[in-house]
C-alpha cells in the first residue's frame, strides 16, 4: 500500500530535550516536505527536499533541522524544543514534476512541549 | 503576511445542495492551485487542482474555478453528501513551495 508514515504519532516532551520525528514513504517520491498545522494559520511549510542531499527552507524553518540521506526518509529534528513548537506536524511527499503538486500526506504527529 | 486566505472558517450546507468554498490569494506568481480535504486524525488528501492558465477544472462532483483578475478561486461540490463533511484547505504553488490557506470546516446536514 502506497503511504507516508510518521513516528511517533503523539509526543509530549520538555523544553530543551532534543527529539526526532521520522517520516518515510514507499512511493519512490523525489520531493518531501514538512508542515506544521496551527489553529487559524492552516498548514505552514517548514522544510522541503527535492531529492537526496537537497533540502531548503520553507516559511517557518526556525528551530528545526532536516536531513535527506535516503530517498525514502526525511526526519525532522528539533534540537532544543520550545513551547511555541507545540503543534500538529505533517510530512508529505510527491513526484518531482516541476512543483510540489498533489502531495501525499502522512497521518500527522501531535507534539506537545512543556 | 497571509498569501492565501480562506475567510470563512466554517460553512454549513444541506445535503444535496451545492457547497461553495472560497479562497483568495495575493501572490500573482502562483502557478498552480490545489484543494485538499482533511478528516480528523488524518493527513490532508488531495482533491482537485487547477493550473493558472485555466479558469475551470472539473472532476465528478467537484469543480474548481479560478478568477485570476480577482485573485480568487472557489471549489464547488454538487450535490453535497454527508461524507463531504471535513476541513477543506486551498493551497497555491510557486517555485517549490506550497502555501496553504487557514481552512474551512464544511458540515453537510441531512
A108: which chain B residues are within 8 Å (Cβ-Cβ)?
A: 41-43
A59: which chain B residues are within 8 Å (Cβ-Cβ)?
A: 97, 99
CB atoms within 10 A of CB B61: 14
Q: What is the mean pLDDT of residues A11-35?
A: 96
Residue bearing cell 482537485: B48
Q: Which residue in A31, A44, A90 is closest to B43 by CB distance?
A: A90
CA torsion, points B63, B68, B71, B74, in degrees to nearest 10?
-10
How many A×B Cβ pairs under 8 Å? 61
A32: closest chain B residue by CA: B96
**How confident is the model at residue A97, as a pLDDT?**
62
**Is the per-residue pLDDT at B96 higher than 90?**
no
**How confident is the model at residue A2, as a pLDDT?**
83
Sheet holding B4-5, edge to edge: B4-5, B19-25, B72-77, B62-67, B56-59
A104: which chain B residues are within 8 Å (Cβ-Cβ)?
A: 46
**Is the per-residue pLDDT at A99 higher than 70?**
no
Which has the minimum average pLDDT: A88-97, A104-113, B14-23, B28-37?
A: A88-97
**Is the per-residue pLDDT at A100 higher than 60?**
no
Kindly report the average pLDDT of chain A as a whole number. Answer: 93
**How confident is the model at residue A11, as a pLDDT?**
97
Confidence tier at B50 by pLDDT (50, 70, 90): very high
**Is the per-residue pLDDT at B24 higher than 60?**
yes
**Is the per-residue pLDDT at A17 higher than 90?**
yes
List of residues 6+ apart from A60 with CB closer than 8 A: A36, A44, A45, A46
Confidence tier at B2 by pLDDT (50, 70, 90): confident
Interface contact flag, B43 A48, Cβ < 8 Å: no
Tell which wins on pLDDT, A113 or B96.
Answer: A113
Amino acid at each position: 500500500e502506497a503511504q507516508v508514515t510518521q513516528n511517533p504519532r503523539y509526543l509530549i516532551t520538555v523544553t530543551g530535550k532534543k527529539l526526532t520525528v521520522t517520516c518515510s514513504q514507499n512511493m519512490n517520491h523525489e520531493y518531501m516536505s514538512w508542515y506544521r498545522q496551527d489553529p487559524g494559520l492552516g498548514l505552514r511549510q517548514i522544510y522541503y527536499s527535492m531529492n537526496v542531499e537537497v533540502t531548503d527552507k520553507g516559511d517557518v524553518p526556525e528551530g528545526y533541522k532536516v536531513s535527506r540521506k535516503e530517498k525514502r526518509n526525511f526526519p525532522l529534528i528539533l534540537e532544543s524544543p520550545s513551547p511555541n513548537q507545540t503543534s500538529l506536524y505533517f510530512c508529505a511527499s510527491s513526484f518531482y514534476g516541476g512543483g510540489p503538486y498533489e502531495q501525499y500526506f502522512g497521518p500527522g504527529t501531535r507534539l506537545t512541549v512543556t | 503576511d497571509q498569501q492565501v486566505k480562506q475567510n470563512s472558517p466554517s460553512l454549513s450546507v444541506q445535503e444535496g445542495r451545492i457547497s461553495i468554498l472560497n479562497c483568495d490569494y495575493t501572490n500573482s506568481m502562483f502557478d498552480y492551485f490545489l484543494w485538499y480535504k482533511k478528516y480528523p486524525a488524518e493527513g490532508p488528501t488531495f482533491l482537485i487542482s487547477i493550473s493558472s492558465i485555466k479558469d475551470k477544472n472539473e472532476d465528478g462532483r467537484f469543480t474548481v474555478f479560478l478568477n485570476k483578475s480577482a485573485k480568487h478561486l472557489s471549489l464547488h461540490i454538487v450535490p453535497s453528501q454527508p461524507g463531504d463533511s471535513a476541513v477543506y484547505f486551498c493551497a497555491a504553488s510557486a517555485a517549490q513551495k506550497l502555501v496553504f490557506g487557514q481552512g474551512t470546516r464544511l458540515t453537510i446536514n441531512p
